[in-house]
Chain A
């Protein structure tokens, strides 16, 4: 295991591509999900009139927004899984195939 040339793989164009694609995608999703989540306590705490606005019978904006938090969390998870399954896994598998053999 110690004979694997990690620096070589680290500098390999394929790994660089994986790193570049993954970082941008992951941290963007992370920022969106955190920002969206904190809209809930901030909105409920500082904009109560908006949250009390009735939309559909007794359903108010606050309830709809709280439900949307669930949908957004699930949505982000689904987007990530789809993207990872399609793009990252294939690149990682290629790298594995190429370099796994380098272990003595």
Chain B
């Protein structure tokens, strides 16, 4: 384990001299690595302690069910708040104002479903995995196979987005190579999961959540302080900010010319700058509200606490932390837009992911100050810890599905010793980890942002209907969940494959060819100006460099689809306008579980109903915490 962490740090440091320039200037890179080193050392120490405890399956999959409700609440927040939330939502708010904030709400409301109908019943009847819940009254082998396939599918989608996002992020922040950072995230995460199982994963997630919340509180404190912690005062400053007014004018285009500066600023606090299609928003909202409760890595967290009551406590804490965090992102996003400027933020990363790190640098005193760079280093390290913690949870969930559901449950017919199963779980973790690293490297440069939404949509259309109806509907049976899960998942994936999320070569050309032409003519004009007025050479050359870079970016997009006219499923244009499939695939998933169940009666699932329903409500004979 020590050797592994050594390799990671060596890899990070070795990459440093050859690295491209990131947001952290070369002069202060040692500071970033120092902060990274401290956080990695801390998590490795925790893993070392955990590794000595992890001998049984209950320890490996469920931390011996001895995590307290409060600890589990922090761990859920650590498992859930991905880099997409921390950097992505702050970024959306810094570029689009109100819509970014609105986007964050669904991620919190999702936990109401978890709290009310999922957490406690699952704790009462489950053991380690989604498969255990579904196998309770359905045919165990069929249910475990379905659950494992679904768990691995959902986790791989989510994992790919995390690995690619993480690689890009670390590259942008500190300039180390994409491949190196993907491997670093993968190896580090594997060290936690393989040696420390759920015990180490839990503590890594808790440490990460505490760091994330502290970093955000610190940033918000200093961002809000100049306005005397007055909300209207802070918002008024945003409205009055010329950078924000310019950003709105840029987003609105022609209609903005008729608006006053105040109107433009106020527009930033109104809906509609980013989210244009309400049906898509409702569809995404459905995927979040029903998908979170079907996410295998979240479900798994409820098996780590001793009782259903602790599961309840953990969701309450998680909701407090997650909700509080999203309120803070409003200040982070608006603060970054005011102090750093939307133009600067989108200049470094088009998605706005650098808003929070750049705000940290500004608050510490700017790019040339040691405190500014310390703050930036801290936020960068927190972002890195965030990715590793989320990825660890996902890998643990998929590995458990492989070892506990598929290998032990289906192949070995539930006959394996504890030691054999723990070994199988460790081997599965390594397999999933390597898959994650390989996919991360292969998917370099792909647009994977929509994979997060797809993971939630699949979980909402496949896992949630199966779990919910297994828990609450007497007639639900194996055929029902099989039909529902297969149709739910494949319709969600199928709808995305024919949606505007895919790359359509003709559309790419139609967007980018005019950009190339426009930049070319601007460059010609600039060169002509330079001939005419040599005194302005330096200024014009800078402009030409920028224009050339923009032309190259557009040309690269055109070259990537050269000779193609169809998307990967052979379409010239999207079949549907919807980017989020939930509004269609979730009802379809539910209907198919109901339809499949009603087709033929199944004796076992009906015989087991009374036991399941009594147990899920009372906690009679629930899996107890193991002594340690």
- Residues on A lying within 8 angstroms of B by beta carbon are 1, 4, 6-7, 9-10, 15, 18-19, 22, 26, 29-30, 33-34, 37-38, 40-42, 44-46, 48, 51-52, 54, 56-60, 62-63, 66-67, 69-70, 73-74, 76-78, 80-81, 84-85, 89, 92, 95-96, 99-100, 103
Known: A41-B278, A59-B232, A92-B619. A7 touches B610 (CB 8 A): yes
Known: A38-B282, A44-B272. A6 touches B113 (CB 8 A): no
The residue of chain A having its C-beta at the shortest distance from the C-beta of B614 within the complex is A9
What's the Cα separation between A67 and B615 when bound, in Å?
Answer: 38
Asked if A57 and B236 sit within 8 Å, CB to CB, the answer is yes
Please, which residues of chain A bring their CB within 8 A of the CB of B315?
77
Asked if A77 and B316 sit within 8 Å, CB to CB, the answer is yes
Return A99 CB to nearest CB of chain B, in Å. Answer: 6
Per-residue contact bits, chain B 290-327, to A (CB 8 Å; 1 contact, 0 not): 00000000000000000001001001100110010011
**Which of A10, A58, A78 sits near B235, CB closer than 8 Å?**
A58
Per-residue contact bits, chain B 11-54, to A (CB 8 Å; 1 contact, 0 not): 00000000000000000000000000000000000000000000
The residue of chain B having its C-beta at the shortest distance from the C-beta of A34 within the complex is B289
Please, which residues of chain B bring their CB within 8 A of the CB of A95?
614, 618, 620
Q: Is the interface of B mostly helix, strand, loop or mixed?
A: helix
Interface centre among B277, B319, B327, B614 (most CB of A within 10 A): B614
Asked if A40 and B102 sit within 8 Å, CB to CB, the answer is yes
Asked if A33 and B112 sit within 8 Å, CB to CB, the answer is yes
**Which of B113, B236, B610 sits near A58, CB closer than 8 Å?**
B236
Please, which residues of chain B bring their CB within 8 A of the CB of A85?
309
Return A38 CB to nearest CB of chain B, in Å. Answer: 6
Please, which residues of chain B bring their CB within 8 A of the CB of A60?
266, 269-270
Asked if B621 and A57 sit within 8 Å, CB to CB, the answer is no
**Which of A4, A58, A63, A80 sits near B620, CB closer than 8 Å?**
A4
Asked if A89 and B102 sit within 8 Å, CB to CB, the answer is no
Instruction: Tell whether B285 is near chain A: CB-to-CB under 8 Å.
Output: yes
Asked if A84 and B312 sit within 8 Å, CB to CB, the answer is yes
- Residues on B lying within 8 angstroms of A by beta carbon are 98-99, 101-102, 105-106, 108-109, 111-113, 115-117, 231-232, 235-236, 238-239, 266, 269-272, 275, 277-279, 281-282, 285, 289, 309, 312, 315-316, 319-320, 323, 326-327, 610-611, 613-615, 617-621
**Which of B99, B101, B621 sits near A1, CB closer than 8 Å?**
B621
The residue of chain A having its C-beta at the shortest distance from the C-beta of B108 within the complex is A73
What's the Cα separation between A38 and B326 when bound, in Å?
Answer: 18
Asked if B610 and A48 sit within 8 Å, CB to CB, the answer is no
Contacts A29-B112, A77-B115 given; 6 further ones with Cβ under 8 A?
A4-B621, A9-B610, A9-B614, A52-B271, A58-B239, A95-B614
The residue of chain A having its C-beta at the shortest distance from the C-beta of B99 within the complex is A44
Q: Is the interface of A mostly helix, strand, loop or mixed?
A: helix
Please, which residues of chain B bring their CB within 8 A of the CB of A103?
621
Asked if A10 and B278 sit within 8 Å, CB to CB, the answer is no
What's the Cα separation between A24 and B305 when bound, in Å?
Answer: 27
Please, which residues of chain A bring their CB within 8 A of the CB of B613?
10, 19
The residue of chain B having its C-beta at the shortest distance from the C-beta of A12 within the complex is B614
Return B292 CB to nearest CB of chain A, in Å. Answer: 12
Asked if A69 and B105 sit within 8 Å, CB to CB, the answer is yes
Please, which residues of chain A bring their CB within 8 A of the CB of B270?
48, 51-52, 60, 62
- The list of the 5 closest CB pairs from A to B, nearest first, reads A45-B278, A57-B232, A44-B271, A41-B281, A6-B611
Known: A26-B117, A44-B102, A77-B112. A37 touches B289 (CB 8 A): yes
What's the Cα separation between A34 and B618 when bound, in Å?
Answer: 26
The residue of chain B having its C-beta at the shortest distance from the C-beta of A103 within the complex is B621
What's the Cα separation between A29 and B157 when bound, in Å?
Answer: 32
**Which of B116, B316, B614 sits near A26, CB closer than 8 Å?**
B116
Return B226 CB to nearest CB of chain A, in Å. Answer: 16
